[in-house]
Copies of this chain bind each other. A is one copy, B any other.
Amino acid sequence: VKYPVIALMTDFGEDDFFVASLKGVIVKINPSARIIDITHRIPSFDIKAASFILFSSYKYFPFRTIFLVVVDPGVGSYRKILLAETKNYFFIAPDNGALSLVLEEEDIEQLREVKNSKYFLPELSRTFEGRDKMAPAAAWLSRGISCVEFGPEATSYKKFRLQKPRIKGNEIIGHVLYIDKFGNLITNIPERMLELLRKKTDKNKFIISLKGRKITSFVQNYSSVKKGGLLFIVGSLGLIEIAAKEASAVEKLRIKNGDVVRIIV
């Protein structure tokens, strides 16, 4: 086996036969493939969530992991299936923007359209190309079939534009990017923007303002805050996160994805 790890991410949930079919197909083609689930709980058709979850985890996987992303509202239409080879990884996904964040960060070596029916299941359905085309392609790729075999070069791919955080006066203006299981609000503001603001203003005391509320505890770790207290912190992705100690910030603040967050010095 050339590239043994196949990491799966879908919006299929875990109740149905979808994920099992993908895995069966992969193991049938490559009995030595090692399948790791990223998650199957992407909200149905939510390309942006898929893009973010992939982005948040992919770097921790081994060199040459094959990421198979099946969040596919356009299944059966003329949207392409992409195969991207980057310096470190492979990605297979419908061309709908799900790879936006990772491909912005990775060095793309080649971009292919997955089209060669030699690497598909013999019978194709109209509604489940994840099973019929993408999973078999990933399995064949893991066995060492060269990328060029899967189809012609793709000259472009769909990207969605993420609103970047910006500095305006003595503020950083960003937004909530993702709300995790603990109710933490992950913003799109990286730690280094605080550095920039610090240098620009020569001040060092940050507070967060969102939806008319202010949060003043910018902490190094949760232990300096009392249970239930709101705080902000540099999270595990290097982004500013708003949290409540051993509690849910989203419940306390009634915030949703995309809401504006201001960091004021």
By the criterion of a CB under 8 Å from any partner CB, how many residues of chain A are at the interface? 66
From B31, B56, B65, A17 is in contact (CB under 8 Å) with: B56
Complex Cα distance, B9 from A21, in Å, reads 13
The reply to whether A15 and B39 form a contact with Cβ atoms under 8 Å apart is yes
Interface of A is mostly: loop
A221 to B228, CA, bound (A): 45
Q: Which residue of B lies closest to A245 (CB)?
A: B73
CB neighbours (8 Å) of A75 from chain B are 221-222
Q: Which of B41, B59, B126 makes the CB contact (< 8 A) with A15?
A: B41
Whether B45 pairs with A246 at a CB distance below 8 angstroms is: yes
Instruction: Closest B residue to A23 by CB, please name it.
Output: B36
A75 vs B180: C-alpha distance when bound (angstroms): 16
B236 and A60 contacting across the interface, CB-CB below 8 Å: no
Indicate whether A144 reaches chain B with its CB closer than 8 angstroms.
no
Count of identical protomers in the assembly? 3
A7 at the interface (CB under 8 A from B): yes
Mark out the residues of chain A between 44 and 68 whose CB falls within 8 Å of any chain B CB in the assembled complex: 44-45, 53, 56-63, 65
Residue of B nearest to A8 (CB): B20
Taking the complex as formed, is A202 at the interface, i.e. its CB lies under 8 A from any CB of chain B?
no
How far apart are the CA atoms of A59 and B28 in the complex, in Å?
10
A261 on the B face (CB < 8 A): no
Given contacts A44-B182, A223-B74, contact A38 B60 (CB under 8 A): no
Chain B residue nearest in CB terms to A227: B73
Residue A34 is within 8 A (CB to CB) of chain B in the complex: yes
Asked whether A57 lies within 8 Å of B27 as measured between CB atoms, the reply is: no
List, in ascending order, chain B residues with CB within 8 A of A13's CB.
181
Check: A206 CB closer than 8 A to any chain B CB.
Answer: no
Give the residues in chain B near A65, CB-CB below 8 Å: 24
The answer to whether residues A24 and B74 also contact, given A131-B236, A234-B125 and a CB cut-off of 8 A, is: no
Kindly report which residue of chain B lies nearest to residue A9, judged by CB atoms. Answer: B20
- Alpha-carbon gap, A220 to B78, bound state (A): 12
* Contact, CB under 8 Å: A17 / B38: yes
**Docked-complex contact A222 and B128, CB < 8 angstroms:** no
Given A12-B181, A28-B61, A126 contacting B36 (CB threshold 8 A): no
| Known pairs A75-B222, A127-B235 / 7 extra A-B pairs, C-beta < 8 Å | A15-B180, A18-B180, A20-B60, A24-B57, A24-B58, A45-B246, A73-B246
